[in-house]
Amino acid sequence: MKNKLFITLTIVISTQGCSIMPYQEESLCRFNDFGKCVTIDRAYKEAVTGIDQGGKLVSGGSRTMRNKQIEKQAGGNIDLKNQMIYQDTKNLMNPTEKIPLLQPAVVRRVFINAHKSIDSSIWYEPKNVYYIEKQPKWTLDFSKENNTSNTLNLFK
């Protein structure tokens, strides 16, 4: 009984390993791939040197109806989508109209060295004192204001 269980367990464990072992595909390109069909080494060489390493161009499609429906919902035209994303990013970098932005607060730090009290009975450790020189505010432009009359500025 123990031998049968051991043999069965050994067979089950050894055959389960086959499903997770890597394998080499026969074809470099699958039906629904996009781009150029080359090996990884040749693709790397082409990317680094810029010299064409051959290979055939593949513009894949989908075999199943489910994938075709997804392509229809997504719009299908990848180049147009990439152009729209690029245009949106470009508009963020060079906005035609000013959008309100939060100008950050100006926070300063003063370092106070270690020192003794006046009568030398207490030793104070070094410490940092932080203070807010300018509160955050919503703004449309980032021109520097010289109006700091209500703030204590130790660095002018």
Q: What is the pLDDT along the chain (156 residues), one digit of tens a residue?
A: 788 888 887 887 777 665 555 555 555 666 556 677 777 788 888 888 888 887 777 665 544 445 555 556 555 566 777 788 888 787 777 656 666 678 889 999 999 999 999 998 999 999 999 999 999 888 765 455 545 555 555 554
For residue 60, being part of any structural domain is answered with: no
Cβ-count burial 98-107 (b if 16+ within 10 Å, e if not): eeeeebeeee
For residue 73, being part of any structural domain is answered with: no
pTM: 0.27
For residue 49, being part of any structural domain is answered with: no
For residue 109, being part of any structural domain is answered with: yes
Total domain count, the chain: 1
For residue 57, being part of any structural domain is answered with: no
For residue 112, being part of any structural domain is answered with: yes
Distances (CA, A) of 142 to 97, 98, 99, 134, 155: 14, 11, 12, 14, 21
Structural domain of residue 116, as residue ranges? 101-139
For residue 44, being part of any structural domain is answered with: no
For residue 132, being part of any structural domain is answered with: yes
